[in-house]
Amino acid sequence: MDISAHSGHKPSNFGKRGGFSLVEIALAIGVLSFGMLATVGLLPVGMSTFHQAIDSSIGSQVLQRVVNDARQTDFSVLVTNSGNQLINAGATGLKAVRYFDYQGIELTSTGNYIYQVNTRIAPQTTLPNSAAVASLATVTVQIANNPGHQPITPNPQTNLWSNPAFNIFTYSAMVARNNNK
């Protein structure tokens, strides 16, 4: 016969349920919030890196397009300025500024562009340890991330952009005359 059932005493584990105490829950929430805070703190850095990677990727696509266009252009047309005059041997000429959207697709109007491209042509290229080569032009391409459509003016001496307010990537390529005309 069980005496505890008759004496009014309950067994020590009667009515006790398994679970967490309030202190354990508070500690778990504290640890979880500390981890979440660290993760949230990394989000701006990750987003900045993500945007830089996108700019680099789209910039590479735009650069490839502009340089391929220069290589496919007749050399005599490439080394002329906007007035169809040959660029002087010691000078550089600018081609029309081109505009691209967020996917790297060239736009025909300047409405919704993100990337602005400046192309500079040097009609003669000086190679190391040699004189200037008239059948080799240097194409310098600058790509600016300019979603605010702010005006960018080139330096009059170099015809290159130098505005610290923008991410401007500068690349160079050589284009050769494919015949002796």
**Residue owning tokens 């008239």:** 134
Which has the closest alpha carbon to 120: 136, 100, 96? 96
**Predicted local confidence at residue 129, as pLDDT:** 73
Percent over 90 (pLDDT), the chain:
24
**Predicted local confidence at residue 28, as pLDDT:** 94
Q: What is the pLDDT of residues 18-36, one digit of tens each?
A: 788 899 999 999 999 998 9
Q: What is the average pLDDT across 112-134? A: 82
> Does pLDDT of 154 surpass 90?
no
Which helix (H) or strand (E) segment is 17 a member of? none
